[in-house]
């Protein structure tokens, strides 16, 4: 906790984070061996205290710093490794990972839908996640391009035997999903995923050809789609957010996050996005958008509890909830 005061945000150490983790690793080694003479006030006796680190919880960039895995570029999937299905968009200048359908059941209808995804059928099967021993062998002998260094956590005796070592933080994922949906609906600069570059890239892939831009003598026009809102509809959505009231300490005051002048939502924090995705967004869009788009967003919000709980590794059990951290 004290070491975090030494790490400045804009100049965070990145891959050199191991320098700050060395005292933690030394303490974990001591706890693994056991610290004798710890007094238990309840039982009135001394015992040997032992502890073990089971996994880390972080966002994806921090995952790369802690695990030593590449999280950018063509081989940025720690599960697929060298077989990561990636594609670089010529106009958007971004790399897209389009092989996610391989994790669906073999008879899932999405596997046979071409135009909805990348114009191809999906017959692939998901790869088996690497064990800690396999990862350690690869980083020591340098025979895998997606690993850039040996993680300092492998200095712990139990680390290579763990099946799950790093878990993604769901709040970052949920915030990204929320920002993209609201940014696209309200066409917020920097948050809108529906632009000329995106539509040209879809055209190059041979999917959604009806979305291609219409070029004029002076301007390039994007054909309106069901998710595009008029100025009046954007104002109506923002007015809905502006008039919402939530219990104290439930979330931020939504009213302070709405800019009615330019129909935008500003300064959303993770817990604000959680509230919007779970409850408030379906209410705000109930009178706008076409039925199919409105239902799709509403269903995503309604199943969000289960969806994001699965991402965090929570699974429903008969006696309650038990934690099952997910591979990243």
Residue 181 and residue 326 share a domain: yes
Q: Are residues 54 and 163 in the same domain?
A: yes
Q: Which domain holds residue 57?
A: 1-72+150-168
- 87 within domain boundaries: yes
Q: Tokens at residue 135, please? A: 């990862």
Q: Could you tell me if residue 137 is inside a domain?
A: no
pLDDT band at 323 (very low <50, low <70, confident <90, very high): very low
Is 110 found in the same domain as 54?
Answer: no
Residue 12 and residue 156 share a domain = yes
Instruction: Kindly state whether residues 21 and 163 are assigned to the same domain.
Output: yes
**Residues 244 and 114 occupy one common structural domain:** no
Q: Among 27-36, 70-79, 179-188, which stretch is predicted with the lowest mean pLDDT?
A: 70-79
Q: How many domains does the chain have?
A: 3
Residues 63 and 116 in one domain: no
Residue 144 lies in a domain: no
Average pLDDT over the chain reads: 82
Calculate mean pLDDT across residues 63-84.
85
Same domain, 107 and 200: yes
Is 244 in the same domain as 316? Answer: yes
Q: Do residues 51 and 69 make contact, with C-beta atoms less than 8 angstroms apart? A: no
Is residue 321 domain-shared with residue 236, that is, in the same domain?
A: yes
Q: Look at strands 220-221 and 258-259 and give their pairing.
A: unpaired
SS3 content of the chain, % helix, strand, coil (to 5): 45, 10, 45
pLDDT digits (tens, 9 = 90+) for 165-217: 988 888 888 888 889 999 999 888 888 888 888 888 888 888 888 888 888 77
Q: Let me know whether 205 and 318 are in one domain.
A: no
Report the distance separating Cα 15 and Cα 80, nearest Å: 22
In angstroms, the CA 44 to CA 42 distance is 6
Supply the pTM of this predicted model: 0.78
Domain annotation covers residue 275: yes
Same domain, 210 and 108: yes
């Amino acid at each position: 906790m004290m070491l975090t005061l030494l790490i400045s945000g804009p100049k965070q150490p990145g891959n050199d984070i191991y320098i700050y983790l060395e005292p933690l690793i030394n303490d974990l080694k001591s706890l693994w061996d056991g610290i004798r003479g710890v007094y238990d006030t309840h039982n009135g006796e001394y015992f040997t205290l032992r502890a073990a680190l089971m996994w880390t919880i972080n966002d994806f960039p921090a995952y790369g710093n802690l695990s030593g895995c590449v999280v950018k570029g063509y081989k940025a999937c720690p599960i697929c490794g060298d077989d990561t299905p990636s594609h670089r968009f010529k106009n958007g200048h971004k790399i897209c990972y389009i092989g996610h359908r391989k994790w669906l059941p073999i008879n899932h209808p999405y596997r046979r839908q071409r135009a909805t995804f990348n114009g191809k059928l999906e017959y692939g099967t998901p790869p088996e996640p690497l064990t800690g021993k396999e990862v350690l062998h690869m980083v020591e002998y340098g025979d895998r391009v997606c690993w850039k260094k040996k993680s300092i956590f492998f200095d712990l005796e139990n680390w290579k035997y763990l099946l799950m070592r790093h878990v993604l933080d769901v709040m970052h994922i949920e915030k990204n999903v929320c920002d993209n949906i609201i940014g696209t609906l309200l066409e917020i600069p920097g948050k809108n995923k529906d632009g000329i570059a995106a539509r040209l890239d879809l055209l190059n892939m041979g999917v959604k050809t009806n979305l291609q831009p219409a070029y004029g003598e002076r301007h390039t026009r994007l054909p309106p789609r069901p998710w595009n809102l008029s100025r009046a509809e954007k104002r109506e959505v923002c007015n809905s957010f502006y008039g919402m009231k939530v219990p104290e300490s439930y979330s931020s005051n939504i009213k302070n996050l709405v800019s009615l002048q330019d129909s935008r939502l500003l300064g959303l924090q993770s817990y604000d996005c959680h509230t919007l995705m779970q409850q408030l967004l379906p209410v705000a869009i109930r009178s706008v958008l076409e039925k199919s788009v409105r239902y799709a967003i509403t269903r995503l919000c309604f199943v969000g509890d289960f969806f994001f709980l699965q991402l965090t590794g929570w699974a429903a059990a008969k006696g309650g909830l038990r934690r099952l951290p997910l591979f990243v």
